[in-house]
Amino acid sequence: MTYRLIAASTVACAGLVVTGCHKRVAIAPPPPPAPMHQQTPATTARSEGYTAPRETRQEPTQTASNMPNAETRARIQDLLDRIQDAYFDYDKHDIRPDAQKALVEDAHTLTDILKQYPNYKLTVEGFCDDRGSEEYNMALGDARAKQAKEYLVSLGIPADQLRTVSYGKDKPVCTEDSENCWQKNRRAHITQDQS
């Protein structure tokens, strides 16, 4: 009997140990998240008379206007007057050596001026003689203007400051029916943009 009593006590103790007392342990809730833009007051002491450096904003340096004034426009016009028209062979739009020389003369000075006024534009006009259809001469004049523009860009003039226009056989500088006159009309001419 003693053995049974010891065995029963052992089982009862084991049951108590296994089940134990269900004592609740309080679990602390997690701390709240920190605010996204928490500003902390300055805690460092500053000596008397000290002032924090002021933030200075530097304005970008630029000209008073993106367009040249009357004096600069006159200077540009003087350069354009000195640049001879680029002439082309009959039914061609390739830049000839004499046309290259004509365009390069004052191109560097013109480039320097244009870079100061990025919104200012020049127009490269393309012309033809009066032979051929209107449509054909408009296309040929356009090709001549674009070819002259490409050459000017290769000399350093910003491409976005040059626009092209074709007048075809309109606006001739000479109206005689001769090769000498026709040659004068097959050209590219640079002007100040009026738009």
The pLDDT tens digits of the residues spanning 152-195 come to: 999 999 999 999 999 999 999 999 989 999 999 999 999 998 76
If one compares 151 and 99, the residue with the highest pLDDT of the two is: 151
Using alpha carbons, select from 89, 76, 69, 99 the residue that is nearest to residue 185.
89
pTM for the structure as a whole: 0.64
Domain housing 158: 88-192
Any domain includes 108: yes
Structure tokens at 161: 């400051």
Above 80 in pLDDT, residue 12?
no
Any domain includes 151: yes
> Which of 49-74 are b and which e, b meaning 16 or more Cβ less than 10 Å from the residue's Cβ?
eeeeeeeeeeeeeeeeeeebeeebee
Any domain includes 82: no
Distance CA 184, CA 193 (A): 22
The pLDDT tens digits of the residues spanning 13-30 come to: 455 444 554 445 455 555
Looking at residue 36, its pLDDT comes to: 55
Any domain includes 73: no
Any domain includes 156: yes
Task: Report the domain count for the chain.
Answer: 1
Any domain includes 145: yes
The pLDDT tens digits of the residues spanning 81-132 come to: 888 889 999 999 998 898 888 778 778 888 888 888 989 999 999 999 999 9
Task: Reduce the DSSP state of residue 123 to 3 states and report it.
Answer: strand
Which CATH number fits the domain that encloses residue 180? 3.30.1330.60
Band the pLDDT of 11: cuts 50, 70, 90. Answer: low
Q: Within 70-133, where are the H helices?
A: 70-82, 97-104, 107-116
**Average pLDDT of the residues in 50-75:** 63
Any domain includes 31: no
Any domain includes 168: yes
State percent of the chain over pLDDT 90.
41
